[in-house]
Structure 1
Amino acid sequence: MANGAAGLNTELQNQKGILKWIETVGNKLPHPFMLFIILCGVLMVVSAILSAMNLSVIHPGKGEAVAVKNLLSVEGIHWILTSMLKNFVEFPALGLVLAMTLGIGLAEKVGLLTTVLRKMMSHVPTAIVSYAVVFVGVLGNLASDAAMVIIPPLGGLVFLAMGRHPIAGFAAGMAGVSSGFTANLFIAGTDALLSGISTSVAQTIDANAHVTPVDNWFFMSSSVFILAFIGGWITDKVIEPRLGTFKGDTSVQFDELTPQENKALRVTGLVALLFIAVLAVLVVPEGALLRDPKTGDFLTSPFLKGIIPIILLFFVTISFVYGKVMGLIKTSKDMPHYMSEAIKDMSGFIVLAFTAAQFIAFFNWSNIGILMAVNGAEFMKSIGLTGLPIVIGFTLFTGICSLFITSGSALWAILAPVFMPMLMLLDYSPAFIQVAYRIADSATNTISPVNPYLPLILAFYQKYNKNAGMGTIFATMTPYALVFLVIWIIQMAIWYFLDLPVGPGVYPR
C-alpha cells in the first residue's frame, strides 16, 4: 500500500515537472502579438518553399487538386494587402466575444453576476464545485461558441468567491466547454452538421447508408458524466495544487445578500422566466416563428443560428432590470456607460485578435493544413493497420490535425472521404467512425495553437496573473486534453468490445 502511494506521488511529481517545463519554455516565447507576427513570417517562407516544390493533393471532398499557394508570390502579396482588414473583421471570435461582452459585461458591472454567484455558491458544497463547473461547461456547447465566452469566466468567479484560485475555475470551465465540446445530454447543432457530412460520404460505399443526428447520442450523453468526473478530479488534484494559493484580490465574498439585493434578484428571476417563456412560445410549437420556415426543424432553425444575439438580448434584459431595481441604472446614459467599461476591459483581446486573425487566415489560404491532413491520412492507409488499432490510429491522427484545423466540420469534410470508406470496408458503422473522429477533434481544442479564442483566454489569465503567457495556458490545459482523449479512447474500446449501441439501434460494427 505504501509502495503504491509512493509510486503515485512520484508519478504526480514527474507530471508537475513536465508541466513546469511546458510553462517555462512556452513563456519564453515572445508576446503573443509578436509571436503571431513571427509565425506569419515563417508561414510565408514555408508556403514559398512548398509551392516551389509543386506540392499538391486531391481534396477528398471536392475531388479537385489543391496545391500549396505561395504567400510571397504576387498573388499572395495582393491577397495579404487586400484581405488584412477582412481577416480581422471576419475573425470568428471577434464579433462573438465583443457582442457577448456587451451583455455579460453589463451583468458584471451592475453586480448581477456577483449576486447570483453569492446566492448559488452559498448552497453548493465546496467538494463538488469543480465537477459542477466542468459539467455545466460540457452542456454549455448547446450555446455553441457563446459558451466559451460565458462559462469559463464564470467558473473563475465561482472559484474566486469560494477562496480558491480563479484560474483553476476558468480552466475547469474551459475544459468542459472546449475539450468536452462534442459531448452533451441533448442533440446539438454539431450532431446535425457532422451527420450530414457522414451520410454523404457513407453513401459512396452504401447507397442506403444514413447517419442521423441521434446516432451518437448514447455514447456522447454517457460521456458527459465521465468527463465531468475526470475534469473535476484533474482540477482538484493536478491543476489547483500546481497553481498554489491565489494572492490577488479576493473581494468576491459570500456575504449575506441585503434585502434590496434579494428583491432585485427576485424581480430579475421573474423577468428571466418570462423571457424564457416567450422564447419557448416562439420555438417549441410546430410552425413557430423561430422554427425553420421551410422544414419546421429545430436543428436548422433561426433560433439555433441566432443563439448568440438571443443570449445577448437575454443578458441585456435581465441586467437592465437588476440595475433598475438596485438604483444603478437611472438615466439613458448609465447602461451604455457600463457597456463601454466592459469593452475597455477587452482592449488587450482586440489587439491580439488582429494578428491571430492574420495567422489563421494565412494558414487557410496557403492550403498547408489540407496538405498535412491528406498526406497524413494516406500514410495511415499505407501502414496497413486493421481492427480496432486502425480506429485508434485514426483518432490519434485526428487529434494532431485538429491542432491546426480548428473547424470541426471543415476537418471532417477533409478526413471523412479518406477514412470513412476505408473503415466501412472493414465493417465499421459510419456512426462509430464518426465517434472516433469527434472525440479527438474535441479533446485537443484547448491546446490548439490556432484556437481563435487564445487571445481571450490569455486576457483572462493575465487578469489574475500578469506574468502569464502562452506556456501558462498550454501547461494548464494539457492534462485535460490528454486525459480526456485517453479516457475517451478507453470508452470507445469498451463500446467496441462489448458491442454497445452508440445511438438508438446503431452499433460499432
Structure 2
Amino acid sequence: MNNHQEIETAKNGAFNKFLNTVEKIGNKLPHPFMLFFYLTLILVAISFILGVMNASVIHPNTGETVAVNNLLSKEGVRYILGNTLTNFTGFAPLGLVLTMMLGIGLSERVGLFSALMTKAIIKTPKRIVTFMVVFIGILGNIASDAAFVVIPPLAALVFLSLGRHPLAGLAAGLAGAGIGFTANILVAGTDALLSGITTEIAKSIDSEMVVSPLDNWFFMSASTFLLAFLGAIVTDKIVEPRLGTYNGEKKADLHELTPLENKALRNTGIAALLFIGFILVLMFIPNSPLLNDDGTLLRSPFLSGIVPILFAFFLVTGITYGMSVKKIEKIADVPNLMAEAIRDLSSYIVLIFMIGQFIGYFNWTNIATWMAVHLANILTAINLTNVFAIVLFTLLVAVLSLFIISGSALWSLVAPIFVPTFMLLGYHPAFVQLAYRIGESSTNMVTPLNQYFAIILGFMLIYNKRAGIGTLMSLMIPYTIIFLIAWILLMLVFVMFNIPIGPGVHYLLK
C-alpha cells in the first residue's frame, strides 16, 4: 500500500470519520472571541436563574454554605464594572505567554532553534523522534504551565524540519505537555501541591496520616514511559495519516550547518552551561534565595519563579547565538527582535480579553463549585466498595475537568468528599489522589475552557489558516481516549498485583 492509499484509508476509517465530524462541527462554531462572548451571555442567564432559585451547596472543605451569585444582581453588576480590567490584565497565562515569547521569539528569530533542531535531527534516529517529542513534553511539566508555551511550537518545528506535518508534531508535544501533564519521572510541583491538600483532608480520618510528594512517584514514572510510547503510536498511526501531506509555504532546510553556525552553537552551549551553573551555585549557597526556608526545592521560589528563570535562559542563549552569527550587531537589535515576536501574538491578546471575562465571571458566580459538589454527591450516593468505584471516580473527574480547569481547585472541591469516603473503605489517600490525577489530566486539552486552548490555536494558525476549535479538539481526542483507557488499565494492574504506587505506599491502607 503506497503512502497515498494509507492516507485515504486513514481518512475513511470509522474513528477518523468521527474525528472529521468533530472537526467539521467544531470549526463551524463562531470565532473563539465571539464564542466566549456568547458563552458569557449564557453564563449570565444561568447565574440569574440559579440565583433566583437561591441555589447553594455546602462546601465540603470549609463546611460553609456557598450560594450561586447572580451576575444581574446589584453585586453582579458592580463586579462586572469593577473587574473588567483586572479580569484581562490579571489573567495569569497572559503574562506567562508574553514573557516566554519575548525570550523564545528572540531565540527563534536569530536562528537558534533552527540550528539546534538541524543538529539534533541529523544525529537522532528518525524512528524515535515522535517518542522523544511526547516524552520531553511530559517531562516539561517540571516547568509547570510554561511547558504549554514552549514545547508544542518547538515540536511542530521539529516535524517540519523532518518533512513531516508540523501539526502532528504540535499535537504530539501538546499531548505530552497537556494530557500527560501530571506524569513525570521527576518529583514536580504538582506532587507537592496535591499531596499537601490530601494530607490535610486525610487527617480528618487519621490524624497521623501524611501523604508525601513521593507517594505517587512509582506510578507516575511508569506512566511517563507508557504515555510516551502510546503517544508516539497515536501520532504516527492516527493523527499524522489523517492530516495527510503538509503543503504549506514553510519548508524545512536540512543543510549541514556552516562553520559559523557550529561555532555559534558552541558559544551558546558554553553560555547555557554558565547560566545553569550560576543557578546551581545560587541553589546550593547557604540560605539560598531559590530554596525554601528549610532548604528544600519543593514549593520553593525556584519552582514558583521558573518562568522568569526560563526567560532569562532564552535571553542569554538567544543573544549569544545572535551575536555569534552577526544577527545581533547592536544592543538595539535585541528589543527590536523581541517586538517582532510579540506582534505575532496580537490576535491572541484580543482573544484573551474575552476569555478573561468569561473565566472571571464563571469563578465569581460559584457555579463551578455548585456543579462539582452535586456531581460528586451523585457518585458518593452509589456507595460502591470495590475498585470499580475508583474507576467511576476517575471518570467523574475527567468530566469535571472539562469545566474546572485548575487542577488544585478541582482537587480542593472533590477531595474533601472522596478522600474520607474511600479511606473508610480501606483505600490509601495517595491512591485516591492518583486516580484523581489520571482523570483531571486526561481531558484538560479537549475543552475550550482551558486557558491555553487559545494559545495552541494561535500556533496552529501558523501552519493552517483555516484551523479552528474543532481542528484542535479532533487532534487531541485520540490522545485523550487512549491515554485515559491506558492509564486506568495501568492503575488496575498496580491494584491486581499490589504494586507500590510510591515508596512504601500501596493502594490499600495497612
Q: TM-score range by the shorter chain?
A: over 0.9
Match of 2:116 in 1: 116
Match of 1:266 in 2: 266
Match of 2:70 in 1: 70
Deviation at residue 330 of structure 1 after TM alignment: 1.2
Contact 1:404 1:449 in 2 (8 A): no
Contact 2:107 2:315 in 1 (8 A): yes
Q: Deviations over 1:279-334 (max 9, x none)?
A: 11111456333111x22121122111111000000000111111111111111210
Match of 1:4 in 2: none
Residue identity opposite 1:461 in structure 2: M
Contact 2:171 2:476 in 1 (8 A): yes
Deviation at residue 252 of structure 1 after TM alignment: 2.5
Match of 2:350 in 1: 351
Inter-partner Cα distance in structure 1 for 2:347 and 2:243: 23
Match of 1:88 in 2: 88
Contact 2:11 2:241 in 1 (8 A): no
Inter-partner Cα distance in structure 1 for 2:461 and 2:304: 32
Match of 1:219 in 2: 219
Q: Secondary structure at the match of 2:66?
A: strand
Match of 2:432 in 1: 433
Residue identity opposite 2:73 in structure 1: S
Match of 1:241 in 2: 241
Inter-partner Cα distance in structure 2 for 1:221 and 1:447: 24
Inter-partner Cα distance in structure 1 for 2:93 and 2:315: 20
Residue identity opposite 2:76 in structure 1: G
Residue identity opposite 2:114 in structure 1: T
Residue identity opposite 1:198 in structure 2: T
Contact 2:501 2:507 in 1 (8 A): yes
Q: Does 1:442 align with 2:447?
A: no
Match of 2:297 in 1: 298
Match of 2:420 in 1: 421
Please give the residue correspondences for 1:243-258 in structure 2 after superposition, counting only pairs within 5 Å.
243-258=243-258
Match of 2:132 in 1: 132
Q: Secondary structure at the match of 2:248?
A: coil
Q: Secondary structure at the match of 2:219?
A: helix
Contact 1:163 1:250 in 2 (8 A): no
Q: Deviations over 1:352-400 (max 9, x none)?
A: 1111111111111111111111000110011222201110010000011
Inter-partner Cα distance in structure 2 for 1:244 and 1:233: 16
- Deviation larger for 425-434 or 245-254: 245-254
Residue identity opposite 2:346 in structure 1: S
How many corresponding residue pairs?
Answer: 500
Deviation at residue 12 of structure 1 after TM alignment: 8.0
Q: Does 1:287 align with 2:290?
A: no
Contact 2:10 2:16 in 1 (8 A): no
Inter-partner Cα distance in structure 2 for 1:346 and 1:249: 20
Residue identity opposite 1:400 in structure 2: V
Q: Does 1:22 align with 2:25?
A: no
Q: Secondary structure at the match of 2:102?
A: helix
Please give the residue correspondences for 1:330-369 in structure 2 after superposition, counting only pairs within 5 Å.
330-369=329-368
Deviation at residue 60 of structure 1 after TM alignment: 1.0
Match of 1:52 in 2: 52
Match of 2:376 in 1: 377
Match of 2:104 in 1: 104
Inter-partner Cα distance in structure 1 for 2:115 and 2:305: 28
Inter-partner Cα distance in structure 2 for 1:253 and 1:217: 41
Inter-partner Cα distance in structure 1 for 2:181 and 2:286: 29
Residue identity opposite 2:68 in structure 1: V
Q: Secondary structure at the match of 2:204?
A: coil
Q: Does 1:189 align with 2:197?
A: no
Match of 1:394 in 2: 393
Match of 1:504 in 2: 503
Inter-partner Cα distance in structure 2 for 1:286 and 1:56: 51
Inter-partner Cα distance in structure 2 for 1:321 and 1:61: 51
TM-score, with normalisation over the residues of structure 1?
Answer: 0.97
Inter-partner Cα distance in structure 2 for 1:159 and 1:429: 43
Residue identity opposite 2:183 in structure 1: A
Match of 1:153 in 2: 153
Query: How has the CA–CA distance of structure 1 residues 364 and 473 changed in structure 2, closer, same or farther, with 3 Å as cutoff?
Result: same
Deviation at residue 74 of structure 1 after TM alignment: 1.6
Q: Deviations over 1:30-83 (max 9, x none)?
A: 000100000000000011011111111011111110011111112111101110
Inter-partner Cα distance in structure 1 for 2:16 and 2:490: 26
Deviation at residue 449 of structure 1 after TM alignment: 2.2
Contact 2:442 2:483 in 1 (8 A): yes
Match of 1:310 in 2: 309
Contact 1:114 1:252 in 2 (8 A): no
Match of 2:482 in 1: 483
Match of 1:33 in 2: 33
Question: Which sections of structure 1, spanning at least 5 residues, go unmatched?
Answer: 1-8
Match of 2:209 in 1: 209
Inter-partner Cα distance in structure 2 for 1:234 and 1:23: 17
Residue identity opposite 1:494 in structure 2: V
Contact 2:11 2:242 in 1 (8 A): no
Inter-partner Cα distance in structure 2 for 1:94 and 1:115: 29
Query: How has the CA–CA distance of structure 1 residues 456 and 496 changed in structure 2, closer, same or farther, with 3 Å as cutoff?
Result: same
TM-score, with normalisation over the residues of structure 2?
Answer: 0.96
Inter-partner Cα distance in structure 1 for 2:253 and 2:384: 56
Q: Secondary structure at the match of 2:15?
A: helix
